[in-house]
Structure 1
Amino acid sequence: MYREHSTVINAPASVVWRLTTDVVKWPTFMPTVQHVELLTPGELRVGSSARVKQPGQTTAVWTVTRIEPMTEFTWETRRMGLRMIGRHLLAPAGDGIRNTVSIEVVGRGSGLFALFFGGMIARVMRQESAAFEKAASQVSAG
């Protein structure tokens, strides 16, 4: 299963990148995240892990697998026998930044997972995109 959502944010790339990678602050502006505990001190880097609690889900540990400053932050977790890969991609778009969030679910049972949870995941991704856009606008404005 693969789902993604993109939105163009009219804010400096540095603001969107900081919001994207400061995962501990996500619960302050993103309704889809209740709590994030960074398990690896310091800035995010390949191998960094965080314990993430989202509404209606058990806590999961996500581990960074790729980070390209100002461009990409990818992390993954394993749940229910499935590998889940979350990506945050930033790219220039006119006067703003295209912010793309995606989730890829692979493994035996991913088709059933998509059938039962695909719609919910698409809604969550739209909410996350909107939250990044709103937070970036607030930071840029003041």
Structure 2
Amino acid sequence: MRFESAITIAAGPQRVWEVFSDVERWPEWAETVTSVALAEPGPLKVGSRAKIKQPKLRTAVWEVTELVEGEYFVWVSRSPGVRVTGGHWVEATPDGTVARSTIDQEGPLSPLIARLTGKLTTRYLALEAQGLKARSERA
């Protein structure tokens, strides 16, 4: 099951990347995130792990599996019966930057999880996109 959101932001891709990839500051602009704690301080890199608390969801640990500086990062969270992959992309356009987020759920329990949390996931992705836009467009 895949969930996706995209938004055009009136800011350069470098600015959007700075905001998007600074995951410990997400609670400042994303009402869907209560806290983010990196296991090791510093910028994201492949292998970075973050513990994320969100309202109405279980605390999850995410591990970065792919990262191209300034372009995208992908991280994975696992729990019994489901693997969740989150993607975060930044792409320059003539109108500024498009930021895209995806959530992919796989595993034997993924249909049940999608049915239970699908509306919430869709709502959270939209709220996060709006928060990212607002923060990135602010100087």
Alignment TM class, shorter chain as reference? over 0.9
1:98 shift after superposition: 0.6
Q: Give the secondary structure class of the aligned counterpart of 2:62.
A: strand
1:80 shift after superposition: 3.9
Equivalent residue, structure 1, for 2:94 = 94
Paired residues, what number?
Answer: 139
Q: Distance in 2 between matches of 1:68 and 1:91?
A: 12
Q: Distance in 1 between matches of 2:112 and 2:60?
A: 20
Equivalent residue, structure 2, for 1:41 = 41
Q: Which ranges in structure 2 are unaligned for 5 or more consecutive residues?
A: none
**2:39 alignment partner AA:** L
Equivalent residue, structure 2, for 1:53 = 53
The answer to whether the Cα contact below 8 Å between 2:4 and 2:100 also exists between their aligned partners in 1 is: yes
Q: Give the secondary structure class of the aligned counterpart of 1:6.
A: strand
> Could you tell me the TM-score, scaled by structure 2's length?
0.95
- Equivalent residue runs for 1:62-73 within 5 Å: 62-73=62-73
Q: Distance in 1 between matches of 2:79 and 2:8?
A: 31
- Equivalent residue runs for 1:1-142 within 5 Å: 1-139=1-139
% identical equivalent positions: 34
Q: Distance in 2 between matches of 1:38 and 1:99?
A: 22
Q: Distance in 2 between matches of 1:120 and 1:59?
A: 15
- After TM superposition, the runs of 4+ consecutive aligned structure 1 residues lying more than 4 A away are none
Q: Distance in 2 between matches of 1:41 and 1:24?
A: 9
Q: Distance in 1 between matches of 2:113 and 2:51?
A: 22
Q: Greater CA deviation, 106-115 or 13-22?
A: 106-115
Q: Which ranges in structure 1 are unaligned for 5 or more consecutive residues?
A: none
